[in-house]
Amino acid sequence: MINNTTVKRVAILCSGGDCAGMNPAVKQFTEYATARGLEPYGINMGLAGLFRGDITPLGYHDVSGIVYRGGTILGSSRFPEFHDPEIRKVAAEQLRRHQIDSLVVLGGNGSFLALECLRRECGVSVVGLPATIDNDVYGSEMALGVDTSLNVIRHCLDSIRDTASSFHRAFVVETMGRDCGYLAIITALTSGAEVCLVPEVEFDITAIENRLRGEIENGRTYLTAIVSEAVDGGAQMLTEVIESRLKMACRTTVLGHVQRGGSPTVADRLNAFEMITIAVDELLAGRESFAVLSQSGRWVPVQLIDIVARVISIPPNLLSMAHRLAN
């Protein structure tokens, strides 16, 4: 537990897939922790770097000019070896060796689960901050990086629609999201897509075919469809249906990792600053082992144990709107 009468050391790392907003978070962590009398440290290359003890102090010169940069200057990694309790023991010892009192982690569900194990087995004080374009952290309406990712996708979809309308073609676009269809649903609704396939909404490919056939007969000359990567083989299947049954030329576009990059939007920069500020304030107040989540438009601290290994539910109103595009 942090005693705010003495200078204590706190560390931050980025875990799992990178996302825009991580750098603003690292900047705010460094500057705000310093202003509150703490010693900020950075852990390079995520949980793998923690295991190796790749831990260095953070100062103003380290974070100068990074607020507009995508990705993370600390680096990140996927480190499945952290599932091993012996690996976690070594990680905890690295924190003790550097006299670090609390660990702040930017990541998603898998990272939060690793944190809870570290807390339970090794007594480490941990803080989880949702940072994943998948937006799949239970209990949080929003995660860092989501807004930037949606804007990157929007730009790509607007450009694809230009070509689709010019050539009277169909385009099937696959978005990321792992097991969650949030990116695909928001993209489909805000880009004016005609079809959306996500794992959370049961779809009827025959109904989609019949609906699109009727729209084409009534003057539709092109169309766009959004498919979440969580629908295994969905993009290829839909492309084949459009070409073979509707007789419309169709192209498949997999957006891939472009969705993780880009300069953080104003929303993601502000979210980063707000969640870090709350995390540091709560640590100074004596709270341990919590997450800072977006609820009802505000960032609030929640006990970490209450959210790990639980599955997020996409808001019913979004699912209802997406249903029309899946049938």
Catalytic (active site) residue 147: no
What does the alpha-carbon distance between residue 133 and residue 144 come to, in Å, rounded to a whole number?
Answer: 7
Q: How many CA atoms lie within 13 A of 273 on its CB side?
A: 9
Q: Catalytic: which of 134, 136, 147, 268?
A: 134
Other C-beta atoms lying within 10 Å of the C-beta of residue 228:
28
Give ∠ CA 90-23-276 in degrees, rounded to 5: 75
State both tokens at 73. 């200057």
Neighbours of 254 (CB within 10 A): 14
Q: Report CA torsion sign: 205, 207, 209, 212.
A: negative
Q: Which residues are identified as catalytic?
A: 134
